[in-house]
Amino acid sequence: MKRMKARRIVVYDLMQQGYVYFLTEPPGSNFHPNFRPQLTPKQMLELGVFGGRYLTDCKREFPADWFKNAKLCHELHKAELNFFGVNASQPLAVWREKGWIHNEDPRGWFQWYCRYYQGRRIPDDARQIRRWLAMRRHIAQVQKHCEYRDLSCRRRQRQALLQWAYDSRRL
């Protein structure tokens, strides 16, 4: 396993001010063996996820090339920016109510994934990986109810899978 010297990151955005974390792994490397996302954060942003209203104030935290071709909207959530053109997200208030949001990543799973991809490792990783694994049930449903690569079938479910780094275009 390739190791690197820990790099300190200090976050100042609309949802976190002064949050500090450390990158201890090389970007895109040394993932937990059960965590095998099919899409990188950059690919997800380019395909269109979360109605484009994600990470728009976090550009200094992540690599600039992630945002070069990203489908983003600074003002509001626009479902038409999503790859499947549908809304597959719940409001942040719902995520908080269900206990899915933790202080380290106030924007939720995708923020966790972006930081994990970049090399951050924290105790919450195990919970987030379990949540990611649980999304496989949606793959089974798409495969059961849709013709292979019929992207018009179960678009909302396919969009949700994209937002969890599963490439539902391949199903």
Neighbours of 137 (CB within 10 A): 8
Q: Is the pLDDT of residue 99 over 70?
A: yes
**What range does the domain containing 14 cover?**
7-170
Residue 135 inside a domain? The answer is: yes
* Dist CA 39 CA 118 (whole Å): 14
Amino acid letter, 53: R
pLDDT band at residue 82, thresholds of 50, 70 and 90?
A: very high
Residue 1 inside a domain? The answer is: no
Q: Is the pLDDT of residue 1 over 60?
A: no
Angle, helices 109-118/125-134, rounded to nearest 10 degrees: 120
- pLDDT number for residue 106: 95
pTM of the model: 0.94
Average pLDDT of the chain, as a whole number: 94
Residue 112 inside a domain? The answer is: yes
| Helices and strands counted in the chain (H then E) | 7, 2
Q: What is the mean pLDDT of residues 89-97?
A: 87
125-143: pLDDT as tens digits: 999 999 999 999 999 999 9
Residue 2 inside a domain? The answer is: no
Residue 143 inside a domain? The answer is: yes
- pLDDT number for residue 74: 87
Counting the structural domains of the chain, the total is: 1
Residue 91 inside a domain? The answer is: yes
Q: Is the pLDDT of residue 53 over 60?
A: yes
Residue 136 inside a domain? The answer is: yes
